[in-house]
């Protein structure tokens, strides 16, 4: 479609306007301005008045980049640069370069080469000292952030590389999308020359590597999810549900890992009692994460596999980032496993990605390009790891009703700047 208004000059004017709006919104909230220094803010203010122009600015700058690059060079870059960028991030991750450069200090190329036992192959003119940028310091300050990078580079990247192979092997000739977990690229991926041949979850629990404990990838995944929750305006999305309406209530955090979401809820809502459910082997990590919290008395752990019938009675059941790991047939099974303990009026709170419509009734995009790209990337990652998907509101309605007609969709709640949302479901007899 021809878009004559998208010129370098028109986009530059829009960039200037959005920059003014964004910086003014930050100033009005006494929020720090973004910078490249290592003490730059990790996140900009979650206020919609900040997130709205921020996302529009990123979209406009992306369009300018495409225009300035041109189709020939753009396609060349798309073929070359992602592979190189991925290789570099994988190198930084595998050799833990983040922690070889001290915060508020520096390290030489020679020091780093010695530490990782690799040769120096070039000598850079000028300073040979490396300091942290805002991005690398962000990773170095929190183990959960480096865990997320490790998960993406070591768990997902090898499987993504055989994504098209999986389509050719498992999908050619099919009339409908397969819901079987073993039809995902993870089954074809290789690590150190050995084909996985298992689901992602089994691979993460059983994979062995010299010098590392068995199951370290599963522990890293749990830690990575903590980091991911820091980038999704998690508290703001949680606040979209009226937790106070539950009164003195028990909330079961199904698949809640080490309890980082339960901690947020316990802190914000003193009348809630939280029970985190996960596999028995998670309990030690849960206890370590909760032990020092002043809210520990209201958060407990219960060993549970959500593919078995639920045994705990509660006022609400929370599923944070659980269902996007599973195709519809498995989501239906997980929801049906709640039925033995459900009473009329109990809430099932699904905290997951909600893909918005592509366009409104006027043909305009509903959400900015950065959010659409992020959701698309996560959707592909779910296919790569689990043969699952992200869901639109209509998809959520369909899978919930498929589980049981007594499940009633009460609403969908989202915030500007986050792909995550709340799907509120109530069980009515």
In the block, residue with structure tokens 């009348």:
271
Q: Report the C-alpha gap between 409 and 347 in whole angstroms.
A: 10
Q: Which of 324, 359, 362, 386 is catalytic?
A: 324
Each residue of 348-387: b (16+ CB within 10 Å) or e?
bbbbbbbbbeeeeeeeeeebbebbbebbeebbbbbbbbbb
Alpha-carbon separation of residue 398 from 180, 329, 401, 405 (angstroms):
18, 12, 5, 10
Domain residue ranges of the chain, discontinuous segments joined by +: 8-69, 142-231, 233-367+384-427
Report the alpha-carbon distance of residue 165 to residue 21 in Å, rounded. Answer: 46
324 belongs to the catalytic site: yes
Residue closest to 151 by CA, chosen among 162, 163, 141, 139: 139
- For residue 12, how many other CB atoms are within 10 A of its CB? 13
Question: What pLDDT is recorded for position 1?
Answer: 43
Instruction: For residue 411, report the phi and psi dihedrals to the nearest 5 degrees.
Output: 170, 165
**Residue labelled with tokens 């039809």:** 183
Nearest to 269 by CA among 241, 234, 311: 241
CA distance 78 to 80: 6
CATH for 233-367+384-427, among 3.30.930.10, 3.40.50.150, 3.40.640.10, 3.40.50.720? 3.40.50.150
Burial 94-106 (b: 16+ CB within 10 A, else e): eeebbebbeeeee
Look up the pTM and report it.
Answer: 0.86
pLDDT number for residue 316: 98
Give pLDDT tens digits along the chain (429 positions): 456 578 999 999 999 999 999 999 999 999 999 999 988 888 898 899 999 999 999 999 999 999 999 999 999 999 999 999 999 999 999 999 999 999 999 999 989 999 999 997 665 566 778 999 999 999 999 999 999 999 999 999 999 999 999 999 999 998 888 999 999 999 999 998 899 999 999 999 888 888 888 889 988 998 898 887 777 688 899 999 999 999 999 999 999 998 999 999 999 999 999 999 999 988 998 999 898 899 999 999 999 999 999 999 999 999 999 999 999 999 999 999 999 999 999 999 999 999 988 788 888 877 888 888 988 999 999 999 999 999 999 999 999 999 999 999 999 999 887 889 999 999 998
Q: Maximum CA pair distance of the chain?
A: 74
């Amino acid at each position: 479609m021809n878009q004559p208004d998208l010129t370098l000059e028109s986009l530059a004017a829009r960039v200037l306007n959005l920059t003014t709006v964004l910086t003014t919104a930050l100033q009005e909230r006494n929020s720090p301005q973004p910078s490249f220094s290592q003490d730059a803010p990790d996140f900009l203010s979650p206020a919609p008045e900040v997130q709205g122009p921020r996302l529009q600015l990123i979209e406009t700058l992306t369009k300018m980049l495409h225009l300035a690059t041109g189709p020939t060079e753009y396609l060349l870059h798309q073929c070359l640069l992602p592979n190189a960028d991925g290789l570099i991030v994988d190198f930084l991750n595998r050799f833990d370069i983040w922690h070889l450069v001290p915060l508020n200090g520096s390290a030489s190329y020679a020091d780093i080469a010695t530490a990782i036992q690799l040769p120096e192959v070039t000598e850079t003119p000028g300073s040979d000292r490396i300091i942290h940028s805002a991005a690398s310091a962000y990773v170095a300050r929190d183990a959960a952030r480096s865990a997320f990078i490790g998960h993406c580079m070591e768990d997902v990247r090898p499987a993504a590389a055989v994504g098209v192979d999986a389509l050719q092997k498992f999908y050619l000739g099919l009339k409908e999308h397969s819901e079987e977990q073993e039809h995902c690229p993870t089954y074809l991926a290789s690590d150190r020359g050995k084909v996985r041949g298992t689901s992602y979850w089994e691979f993460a629990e059983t994979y062995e590597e010299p010098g590392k404990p068995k199951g370290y990838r599963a522990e890293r995944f749990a830690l990575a999810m903590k980091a991911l929750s820091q980038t999704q305006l998690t508290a703001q999305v949680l606040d979209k549900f009226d937790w106070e309406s539950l009164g003195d209530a028990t909330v079961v955090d199904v698949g809640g890992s080490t309890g980082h979401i339960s901690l947020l809820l316990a802190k914000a809502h003193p009348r809630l009692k939280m029970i985190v459910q996960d596999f028995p082997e998670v309990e030690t990590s849960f206890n370590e994460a909760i032990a020092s919290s002043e809210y520990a008395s209201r958060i407990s752990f219960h060993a549970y596999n959500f593919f078995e019938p639920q045994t705990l009675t509660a006022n609400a059941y929370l599923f944070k980032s659980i269902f996007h790991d599973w195709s519809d047939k498995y989501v239906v099974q997980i929801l049906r496993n709640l039925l033995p303990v459900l009473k009329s009026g109990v809430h099932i709170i699904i905290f997951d990605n909600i893909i918005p419509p592509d366009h409104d009734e006027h043909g305009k995009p509903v959400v900015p390009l950065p959010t659409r790209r992020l959701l698309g990337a996560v959707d592909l990652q779910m296919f790569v790891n689990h043969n699952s998907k992200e869901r639109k509101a209509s998809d959520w309605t369909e899978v919930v009703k498929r589980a049981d007609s007594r499940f009633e969709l009460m609403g969908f709640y989202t915030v500007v700047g986050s792909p995550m949302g709340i799907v509120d479901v109530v069980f009515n007899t």
